[in-house]
C-alpha cells in the first residue's frame, strides 16, 4: 500500500513536543518529508533525530511563530530544503489561564498572537508556495498536487471554558479562520480544516502542581490544569479516558490524507466524545 503522504512536504509548528511532535513522527512514517518547527531548538532537533532514526526525512527550523519575520523564513527554508510544500499544520500554542476579571491585556493579546495572528501570517507566507503553485498548475492544465492546511483548535473554543476567555476566543477564531481559508483557497484545490482537541495528555493538560511553565516575554507562565480537575475530567469524556498524543496526531493525519480529499472547512472534534 502506498504511504498516505508519500513524498509530500509538511510543515508542522509546535512540533518539538506533545501533539506536534507526534504528528511530525506520524507524518514521516507515512512518507512525508517533515519540517519540524518549534520555538525550542533542543526539542526540535530531538524530533528530527527521532524521525531520521526511524528511517524518515526531516529538517528542523526552530523559531517563534509570533515573530513577524519567522513565517516567511520558515517557508523559505522549507522550500530550499524540500521544494514544493503540500501541508501546513498550525499547531504551536500554549495556555495562559486566568479568570476574566483579573486577566491582563498582555495575557489576552498573547493568546491572540500565538493562536490567530501567527497562523494568519503563516498562511499568508504559504501563498507563493501553495496558492500560486496551484494557480500555475491550473494554468498549465495539470492536475493539482495535494495541498492542505490544518489548524489546531480546542473544545475550549467550541464550548468555552472557565479561566480561558483568551484561549477560548482565539481557538474559536480558528474555526472562522479555517472556513474562510477553505472558501478563498478551495478554488485552487487547497483544503483547509481544523482539529479541535478535547483532553490530550501533554504538558498543557498535566496537573498544574507539577510546575511546568513556558517563558514568554520574560514571564514564566504556569501550564497545566488544577490537579483535582485533572482527575475529574475523565467523567466528562464518554470514552472514559483522556487521549494520547498519538491519537491526536491521528486526527491530523486523517485530515491531511487522501481519505479527506473532499473534506474542506470542517472542524473535526478529537475528544473521545467530550462536549457532544
Ligand atoms: N493537550 C490538549 O489537550 C489540547 C487540547 C486542545 C488544543 N490543544 C492545542 O494543541 C496544540 C499543541 O499543544 P500540546 O498539548 O501538544 O502542547 P505542548 O506544550 O506539549 O506542545 C506545544 C508546542 O508548541 C510550542 N510553542 C508554543 N508557543 C510557540 C511559539 N510562539 N512559537 C513556536 N512554537 C511554540 C511549544 O514550545 C511546544 O513544543 C496547541 O495549539 C494547543 O492549544 C491541546
Domain 9-202+243-265 sits in CATH 3.40.50.720: yes
Confidence of residue 208 (pLDDT cuts 50, 70, 90): confident
| Pocket flag, ligand 1, residue 71 (CB < 6 Å) | no
| Ligand 1 centroid distance, CA of 96 (Å) | 12
| Ligand 1 centroid distance, CA of 178 (Å) | 18
Summarised one tens digit per residue, pLDDT across range 88-109 is 999 999 999 999 999 999 999 9
**C-alpha R_g of the chain:** 18
Q: Give the residue-averaged pLDDT of 5-28.
A: 98
The residues, any chain, with a CB within 8 Å of residue 84's CB and separated by 6 or more, are 9, 129, 133, 145
Confidence of residue 210 (pLDDT cuts 50, 70, 90): confident
* Per-residue confidence (pLDDT) for residue 142, from 0 to 100: 95
| Pocket flag, ligand 1, residue 84 (CB < 6 Å) | no
* Per-residue confidence (pLDDT) for residue 89, from 0 to 100: 99
What phi, psi does 201 have (nearest 5°)?
-70, 100
| Pocket flag, ligand 1, residue 159 (CB < 6 Å) | no
Q: Give the residue-averaged pLDDT of 76-92.
A: 98
Q: Give the residue-averaged pLDDT of 243-251.
A: 98
Atom from ligand 1 closest to the CA of residue 245: 16
* Per-residue confidence (pLDDT) for residue 253, from 0 to 100: 98
* Per-residue confidence (pLDDT) for residue 228, from 0 to 100: 83
Atom from ligand 1 closest to the CA of residue 40: 37
The residues, any chain, with a CB within 8 Å of residue 142's CB and separated by 6 or more, are none
Cα distances (Å, whole numbers) of residue 38 to 13, 71, 79, 92: 6, 12, 17, 7
Q: Give the residue-averaged pLDDT of 242-261.
A: 98
* Per-residue confidence (pLDDT) for residue 254, from 0 to 100: 98
Q: Which of 129, 167, 199, 262 is catalytic?
A: 167
Mean pLDDT of the chain: 96
pLDDT over 90, % of the chain:
91
* Per-residue confidence (pLDDT) for residue 209, from 0 to 100: 87
| Pocket flag, ligand 1, residue 12 (CB < 6 Å) | no
Confidence of residue 1 (pLDDT cuts 50, 70, 90): confident
Q: Break the chain into its structural domains and give their ranges.
A: 9-202+243-265
Q: Give the residue-averaged pLDDT of 75-100.
A: 98
Q: Is 82 left (phi over 0), alpha (psi -120 to 50) or beta?
A: alpha
Summarised one tens digit per residue, pLDDT across range 50-63 is 999 999 999 999 99
| Pocket flag, ligand 1, residue 152 (CB < 6 Å) | yes
Q: Give the residue-averaged pLDDT of 156-174.
A: 97
- Of the candidates 67, 165, 162, the one whose C-alpha atom is nearest the C-alpha of residue 108 is 165
What phi, psi does 58 have (nearest 5°)?
-160, 155
The predicted model scores a pTM of 0.98
| Ligand 1 centroid distance, CA of 169 (Å) | 16
What phi, psi does 117 have (nearest 5°)?
-65, -45
Ligand 1 test: best mutation among 23, 44, 97, 202, most atoms within 8 Å of CB? 202
| Ligand 1 centroid distance, CA of 163 (Å) | 18
CA dist., res. 271 & res. 243, Å (int): 7
Confidence of residue 6 (pLDDT cuts 50, 70, 90): very high
Q: Is 167 a catalytic residue?
A: yes
CA dist., res. 94 & res. 73, Å (int): 22
pLDDT over 70, % of the chain:
100
| Pocket flag, ligand 1, residue 30 (CB < 6 Å) | no
What phi, psi does 28 have (nearest 5°)?
-65, -40
On whether the CB atoms of residues 51 and 106 are closer than 8 A, the answer is no
User: From atom 18 of ligand 1, which residue's Cα is the shortest distance away?
Assistant: 18
Summarised one tens digit per residue, pLDDT across range 181-191 is 999 999 999 99
| Ligand 1 centroid distance, CA of 14 (Å) | 6
At 201, list the grid cell. Answer: 495528555
Summarised one tens digit per residue, pLDDT across range 110-134 is 999 999 999 999 999 999 999 999 9
Amino acid at each position: 500500500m502506498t504511504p498516505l503522504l508519500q513524498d509530500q512536504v509538511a510543515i508542522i509548528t509546535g512540533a518539538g513536543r506533545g501533539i506536534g511532535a507526534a504528528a511530525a513522527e506520524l507524518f514521516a512514517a507515512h512518507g512525508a518529508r517533515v519540517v519540524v518547527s518549534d520555538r525550542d531548538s533542543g526539542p526540535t532537533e530531538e524530533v528530527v533525530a527521532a524521525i531520521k532514526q526511524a528511517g524518515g526525512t526531516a529538517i528542523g527550523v526552530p523559531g517563534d511563530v509570533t515573530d513577524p519575520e519567522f513565517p516567511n523564513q520558515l517557508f523559505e527554508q522549507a522550500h530550499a530544503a524540500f521544494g514544493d510544500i503540500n501541508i501546513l499544520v498550525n499547531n504551536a500554542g500554549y495556555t495562559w489561564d486566568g479568570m476574566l476579571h483579573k486577566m491582563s491585556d498582555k495575557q489576552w493579546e498573547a493568546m491572540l498572537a500565538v493562536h490567530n495572528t501567527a497562523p494568519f501570517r503563516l498562511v499568508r507566507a504559504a501563498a507563493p508556495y501553495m496558492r500560486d503553485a496551484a494557480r500555475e498548475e491550473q494554468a498549465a492544465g495539470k492536475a493539482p498536487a495535494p495541498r492542505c492546511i490544518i489548524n489546531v483548535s480546542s473544545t475550549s473554543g467550541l464550548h468555552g471554558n472557565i479561566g480561558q476567555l483568551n484561549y477560548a476566543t482565539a481557538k474559536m477564531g480558528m474555526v472562522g479562520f479555517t472556513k474562510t481559508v477553505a472558501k478563498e483557497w478551495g478554488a485552487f484545490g487547497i483544503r483547509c480544516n481544523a482539529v479541535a482537541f478535547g483532553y490530550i495528555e501533554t504538558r498543557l493538560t498535566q496537573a498544574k502542581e507539577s510546575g511546568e511553565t513556558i517563558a514568554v516575554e520574560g514571564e514564566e507562565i504556569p501550564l497545566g490544569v488544577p490537579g483535582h480537575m485533572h482527575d475529574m475530567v475523565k467523567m466528562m469524556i464518554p470514552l472514559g479516558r483522556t487521549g494520547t498524543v498519538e491519537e491526536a496526531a491521528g486526527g491530523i493525519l486523517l485530515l491531511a490524507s487522501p481519505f479527506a480529499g473532499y473534506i474542506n472547512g470542517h472542524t473535526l472534534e478529537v475528544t473521545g466524545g467530550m462536549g457532544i
